Chains A and B, each alone.
Chain A
Amino acid sequence: MTRLLVDGVFFQINNTGIARVWRSVLGILAASGGLEIYFLDRGHAPKIEGIQYIPFPQKTLFAHCAADSLLIQKVCDHYKIDVFTSTYYTTPVSTPMLLMVHDMIPELFDFDLTCRAWMEKDTAICFAQRYLCVSENTRYDLLTFYQEIPPDKVTVARDGVDHRVFKMRPAVDVMAFRKTYGLNRPYFLFVGSRVQHNGYKNSRLFFDALDQLSSIDFDVFCVGGEKDIEAEVLKGIPKGVRCIRVELADEELSLAYNGAIALVYPSLYEGFGMPVIEAMASGCPVITTPHGSLREAAGDAACLVSGASLEEMCNALRQVREPGYRETLKRKGLEHVKQFSWEKMAVQIMKDVLVLHDEAQQGLYDSFFKNWRQLREVQASVDF
């Protein structure tokens, strides 16, 4: 059976969306029994039945990257790993690698690409031989930035949604949840980071629009993202509107979606946009934009705004409160979201892993690996 090694480095670093993706698909992959799965545990690894864990040195963020690669390779060699993949951007030096690419945001939005973290992403893309992108849009971006990659080496499997968690909830549970958080008025939901480098999250548009609304009979509920609500955000919020920020586990997040007027997600760019489909699966109307991959995530089931017009956003915020329109969005959303599942992504990963294993066995990458190892060793020797 093909042996897959997954580097759990992302779990060491963070517990955000990418961790959710891997937790979801690994469970399914392990249960399917089609692969022998090994996992480098650098800390905080999820406990999944059927996976063999290998304690591995924590990554020093972000230093000794080349040395880290050489050590990963030793583990690959010892366990006779056929295919490697990483939950983030770590690499071996001569074991075939499948890379999941979530987005090209740092490359597109002026992040400092000379910092090691992003150099490592470049390394991972350069080294990997096959790719799985979470949206067509990300695939297109990847192929623009790395034009040597033959298009048939890049597959797409959109992020999924756990329909057992994100679903319509009984009204009584939703009421209880609202009571816990003091949400006794209608509320708009904002999920994830509010301020991002270069402002592509575009939360400003939402908070500015609130100020333009005439009736103040709602609250704003922010889940996740930066710990403290930014002063400039609070400044824009009209008197009488409460703005609360909490961290929620998935069960509660689903209840939060169930009870909200709408999820407001005005982002100008995403690699996929998981909150959109999680909201839809929970029967929550969604206001978002058609940018990046969001059109793919939202389909025709969301209220789309350009993300550039305050007036348009105001109208959308008013419109989603009309019962008829709400009902339409809800119905469309529940229908649209049926196509998204982690099973699909797991199946695609499995396919890609097997194809890559097969390609590698034919020796397609042997001379590249030899070349690469040499260069990565040189890089390790000048890394201080």
Chain B
Amino acid sequence: MKHRTVDSIYRTEFDLIPEFKLNWMSRVSGFIDLDRGRSVGIANDMDDNLKKRMIELALSKLSSAELENMQRLTEIALNQSRNYGAQGNLLLLLKSDKCSMAFKTVGVMVNRTWRALSQNTNPVERATLVKELVDLREKCAIRAMSPQAEGSTAAAGGDAAPPQPAPQMTLENAIVKVYEQSVGRTPGQDEINIWKNNFENGVPFHEFLLLMSGGEETKNCKTSKAILAEKSDGAFVQLLYELLHGRGCSVWEINHWVSKLTGGTMQRPEILAAIFNDAVKFYEHSSETVHDGLSCQILGTSRVVTADHWKRMAQAVLKQPAPAPDDRYAHRFYIKSEPRFLVTAIASLYRGGDFIEQFMDNLTAQSVFDDYCELVIVDADSPEHEFETIKRYLSKHKGINYIRMNYRIGIYDAWNVGVKAARGDYLTNTNLDDLRRTDSLEQQAAVLDNLPFVDVTYQDLYYTFDPRLSFGEIAAFGYETNLPIITPYNLMQFNSPHNAPMWRKRLHDELGYFNTHFKSAGDYEFWMRCLAAGKCFYKLNDPHVVYYQNPKGLSTRPDSRGIVEAKEIHKTYARKLVSENLVMPFQQFCREKLPAVPIALDEGKNDRYAFSQRALRNAARQSKYAAVNGIVR
């Protein structure tokens, strides 16, 4: 830094504020000391008004690149303000001595505020300092957004904005491109600065190209890309899972491996080997997997319910007086349709002798059963004479349709028979050993009646290990799910519609029936199919159904059938449900999906969600009030 330069800039740019002269020299000397890394305080006596004007003026001189850098600097200052007692000079982080005097002026201010902040524990004073930094950051952001921001020559004055220069290849962009091509990553700001310096000192660009193409990192990169070089990292990982594991790749797995590749800690051949090892392990040990049905995870929570714990709790819970009615969800939908067969409950029946009476009682006691419901029972040639029991209900309720097959069919075959026979617009499956609160069918039908955009409705539910308890008794145990809004990624983790969803019959016209190839996860496959087709799922919070965790039942039997089927389903749907936005390279994602978001080159995290958030922030700055401002003018 040369005093001559300071002096000339001072004369040309800051003569505008006469009272500024006095302070300027003391500030400049403070800055020089700071720049050398020594901590010398700057004159602190500048009055607020003057400071404000100085900042305004300095900001108006910043080029758009500098405005962006300044935003980054204030961001760093805010993020690092929790390191109480920090010393040092933030400006050194930028490692650039090519910034203008105006930039340095503001930079000094940021640096000073940051240090004051990091040494201050008084909340009131801290808040004031935070506000100063934020104020600066936002001013830079707004300026950077406005078309006038380009170049420091467009200083104050009533002139029309200068014409926007056509986008061109800057030196910085060229360096980035070369890095991307040769070592497959974006360079850090420090690396860019080093090269810019080198060029200024006379290093020719072709020398740079030669160095980059011959380096160790480039060789590594080439080995890494040697496998399927034309595929993106994300697509590479997806293929490995599909081919080696025989299933689709979850978004967490993609993220895990891709971050290793982009971070340079692993190369493609190593990842291939690692995933292959995993697959071998799974293959060799899959028969040892123990899954005894005596415990299960409560969906949407980290809690596990076990049969043992249930038994221990039972003594205490069942002795207690009945708990107060659940008033968390006081408001509900009501059915709008006139009485008719609106809902068809489908039950597949095979060896249900133990439960048939309880089941018939529970279903026919539903509040809307006689007005709106039909129960289709598909008897898959069960040997336990359940019809003897069912007969007793036929005379009392017109809505029971009993269909007996004369050969054993699978559960999803039976459901399809039920779907085809159904007279209702809304369908639901009813397992013999599950239990519903008396308003369960009514609540579900009311959702579909009121919200035409909903295709499938589901709800939170209670677990039980004892199928003979009443709904209220089971609720008192409190094993309640906390199911999320269904998204592609959480449906790939677990089946939120679970044991008792209700859906529109017309879905089958559009998407087909349950796939009878499955024995255990046919419903899951259908919900995946719905989601992939953009269908809407809607959750009722009120837990009005009970799921019986049956250690012996088909859907929880401890063989690997469920696992095999889930793998197969994932193989089909992972590609359809995992967005391309997560698979494409990060740079491409930002460029194509988040226009107008500057990519911070020195931010290694590549967090796509956070970058989308920046895009939202910029959309607000840029376009929210565009029309309003237009009208004001």
Please determine whether A55 and B332 come into contact, CB atoms closer than 8 angstroms: yes
Nearest residue in A to B446 (C-beta to C-beta)? A55
Please determine whether A144 and B451 come into contact, CB atoms closer than 8 angstroms: no
| Shortest Cβ distance from residue B417 to the other chain A in the assembled complex, whole angstroms | 32
Partner of A379, one of B447, B485, B613: B613
> Which of B130-138, B155-163, B509-517 touches A?
B130-138
Please determine whether A383 and B625 come into contact, CB atoms closer than 8 angstroms: no
Partner of A384, one of B252, B610, B625: B252
> Which of B20-28, B42-50, B118-126, B336-344 touches A?
B118-126
Please determine whether B453 and A378 come into contact, CB atoms closer than 8 angstroms: no
Contacts of A44 in B (CB 8 A): 328
Q: Indicate whether A382 sits within 8 Å of B484 (C-beta atoms), given known contacts A58-B541, A150-B629, A365-B627.
A: no
Contacts of B447 in A (CB 8 A): 55
Contacts of B82 in A (CB 8 A): 110
Question: Which residues of chain A (293-350) have a CB below 8 Å from chain B?
Answer: 307-308
Partner of A68, one of B451, B485, B490: B485
Nearest residue in B to A91 (C-beta to C-beta)? B616
Please determine whether B581 and A110 come into contact, CB atoms closer than 8 angstroms: no
Please determine whether B615 and A375 come into contact, CB atoms closer than 8 angstroms: yes
> Which of A29-37, A120-128, A177-185, A224-232 touches B?
A120-128
Please determine whether A145 and B485 come into contact, CB atoms closer than 8 angstroms: no
Partner of B541, one of A42, A54, A75, A381: A42
Q: Indicate whether A146 sits within 8 Å of B138 (C-beta atoms), given known contacts A44-B328, A378-B615, A382-B582.
A: yes
| Shortest Cβ distance from residue B439 to the other chain A in the assembled complex, whole angstroms | 13
Q: Indicate whether A378 sits within 8 Å of B613 (C-beta atoms), given known contacts A144-B138, A147-B138.
A: no
> Which of A234-242, A251-259, A366-374 touches B?
A366-374
Nearest residue in A to B140 (C-beta to C-beta)? A147
Distance in angstroms between the alpha carbons of A77 and B593 in the assembled complex? 25
Q: Is B297 part of the contact surface with A, judged by Cβ < 8 Å?
A: no
Please determine whether A141 and B328 come into contact, CB atoms closer than 8 angstroms: no
Contacts of A45 in B (CB 8 A): 330-331
Distance in angstroms between the alpha carbons of A89 and B608 in the assembled complex? 21
Of the listed residues A57, A75, A127, A372, the one surrounded by the most CB atoms of chain B closer than 10 A to its CB is: A57
Contacts of B613 in A (CB 8 A): 119, 122-123, 379
Please determine whether A364 and B631 come into contact, CB atoms closer than 8 angstroms: yes
| Shortest Cβ distance from residue B328 to the other chain A in the assembled complex, whole angstroms | 5
Distance in angstroms between the alpha carbons of A367 and B619 in the assembled complex? 11
Please determine whether B123 and A202 come into contact, CB atoms closer than 8 angstroms: yes
Q: Is B628 part of the contact surface with A, judged by Cβ < 8 Å?
A: yes
Nearest residue in B to A196 (C-beta to C-beta)? B123
Contacts of A64 in B (CB 8 A): 484-485, 487, 490
Interface residue total, chain A, C-beta cutoff 8 A: 70
Q: Is B317 part of the contact surface with A, judged by Cβ < 8 Å?
A: no
Please determine whether A108 and B487 come into contact, CB atoms closer than 8 angstroms: no
Contacts of A308 in B (CB 8 A): 122, 124
Partner of A380, one of B81, B487, B538, B623: B487
Of the listed residues B328, B332, B610, B620, the one surrounded by the most CB atoms of chain A closer than 10 A to its CB is: B620
Q: Is A60 part of the contact surface with B, judged by Cβ < 8 Å?
A: yes
Nearest residue in A to B617 (C-beta to C-beta)? A126
Contacts of B627 in A (CB 8 A): 363-368
Nearest residue in A to B142 (C-beta to C-beta)? A147
Chain B 244-261 interface 0/1 with A at a Cβ cutoff of 8 Å (1 = within): 000000011001000000
Question: Which residues of chain B (210-269) have a CB below 8 Å from chain A?
Answer: 251-252, 255
Partner of B619, one of A107, A126, A269: A126
Please determine whether B617 and A43 come into contact, CB atoms closer than 8 angstroms: no
Q: Is B600 part of the contact surface with A, judged by Cβ < 8 Å?
A: no
Partner of B624, one of A42, A63, A129, A144: A129
Of the listed residues A68, A114, A153, A375, the one surrounded by the most CB atoms of chain B closer than 10 A to its CB is: A375
Please determine whether A55 and B540 come into contact, CB atoms closer than 8 angstroms: yes
Q: Indicate whether A147 sits within 8 Å of B139 (C-beta atoms), given known contacts A41-B330, A68-B485.
A: yes
Distance in angstroms between the alpha carbons of A326 and B312 in the assembled complex? 59
Distance in angstroms between the alpha carbons of A291 and B494 in the assembled complex? 49
Q: Indicate whether A41 sits within 8 Å of B331 (C-beta atoms), given known contacts A148-B624, A384-B251.
A: yes
Q: Is A17 part of the contact surface with B, judged by Cβ < 8 Å?
A: no
Q: Is A164 part of the contact surface with B, judged by Cβ < 8 Å?
A: no
Distance in angstroms between the alpha carbons of A41 and B81 in the assembled complex? 40
Q: Is A67 part of the contact surface with B, judged by Cβ < 8 Å?
A: yes
Contacts of B451 in A (CB 8 A): 75, 78
Of the listed residues B122, B328, B612, B631, the one surrounded by the most CB atoms of chain A closer than 10 A to its CB is: B612
Contacts of A372 in B (CB 8 A): 616, 619
Distance in angstroms between the alpha carbons of A245 and B391 in the assembled complex? 63
Interface size class of B (residues with CB under 8 A): 35 or more
Nearest residue in A to B143 (C-beta to C-beta)? A147
Q: Is A376 part of the contact surface with B, judged by Cβ < 8 Å?
A: yes
Distance in angstroms between the alpha carbons of A153 and B482 in the assembled complex? 39
Please determine whether B330 and A108 come into contact, CB atoms closer than 8 angstroms: no
Contacts of B81 in A (CB 8 A): 110
Distance in angstroms between the alpha carbons of A45 and B332 in the assembled complex? 11
Please determine whether A381 and B579 come into contact, CB atoms closer than 8 angstroms: yes
Distance in angstroms between the alpha carbons of A68 and B487 in the assembled complex? 10
Please determine whether B122 and A382 come into contact, CB atoms closer than 8 angstroms: no
Chain B 138-174 interface 0/1 with A at a Cβ cutoff of 8 Å (1 = within): 1101100100000000000000000000000000000
Contacts of A218 in B (CB 8 A): none
Please determine whether B581 and A378 come into contact, CB atoms closer than 8 angstroms: yes
Q: Indicate whether A375 sits within 8 Å of B594 (C-beta atoms), given known contacts A126-B616, A148-B620, A368-B626.
A: yes
Contacts of B333 in A (CB 8 A): 54-55
Please determine whether A375 and B126 come into contact, CB atoms closer than 8 angstroms: no
Please determine whether A150 and B625 come into contact, CB atoms closer than 8 angstroms: yes
Q: Indicate whether A74 sits within 8 Å of B623 (C-beta atoms), given known contacts A123-B616, A382-B608.
A: no
Please determine whether A379 and B620 come into contact, CB atoms closer than 8 angstroms: no
Q: Is B203 part of the contact surface with A, judged by Cβ < 8 Å?
A: no
Please determine whether A379 and B609 come into contact, CB atoms closer than 8 angstroms: yes
| Shortest Cβ distance from residue B289 to the other chain A in the assembled complex, whole angstroms | 26
Q: Indicate whether A199 sits within 8 Å of B628 (C-beta atoms), given known contacts A41-B331, A382-B579.
A: no
Q: Indicate whether A57 sits within 8 Å of B538 (C-beta atoms), given known contacts A269-B127, A375-B612.
A: yes
Distance in angstroms between the alpha carbons of A77 and B615 in the assembled complex? 25
Nearest residue in A to B612 (C-beta to C-beta)? A379
Chain B 383-407 interface 0/1 with A at a Cβ cutoff of 8 Å (1 = within): 0000000000000000000000000
Q: Indicate whether A150 sits within 8 Å of B612 (C-beta atoms), given known contacts A55-B333, A127-B620, A145-B138.
A: no
Chain B 590-615 interface 0/1 with A at a Cβ cutoff of 8 Å (1 = within): 00011000000000000011101101
Please determine whether A371 and B142 come into contact, CB atoms closer than 8 angstroms: no
Please determine whether B623 and A367 come into contact, CB atoms closer than 8 angstroms: yes
Q: Is B329 part of the contact surface with A, judged by Cβ < 8 Å?
A: yes
Contacts of A114 in B (CB 8 A): 610
22 A-B pairs (CB sep. < 8 Å): A39-B331, A41-B330, A55-B333, A60-B300, A63-B484, A71-B538, A107-B134, A119-B613, A123-B613, A146-B138, A147-B138, A149-B625, A150-B629, A202-B123, A291-B124, A359-B628, A368-B623, A379-B612, A379-B616, A381-B581, A383-B489, A384-B251
Contacts A110-B130, A150-B625 known; list 17 others, CB within 8 Å: A55-B541, A55-B542, A60-B485, A109-B127, A110-B81, A126-B616, A126-B624, A148-B621, A149-B625, A153-B628, A308-B122, A366-B627, A367-B623, A368-B619, A380-B487, A381-B582, A383-B489
Query: 3 tightest A-B contacts by CB?
Result: A53-B331, A379-B612, A381-B579
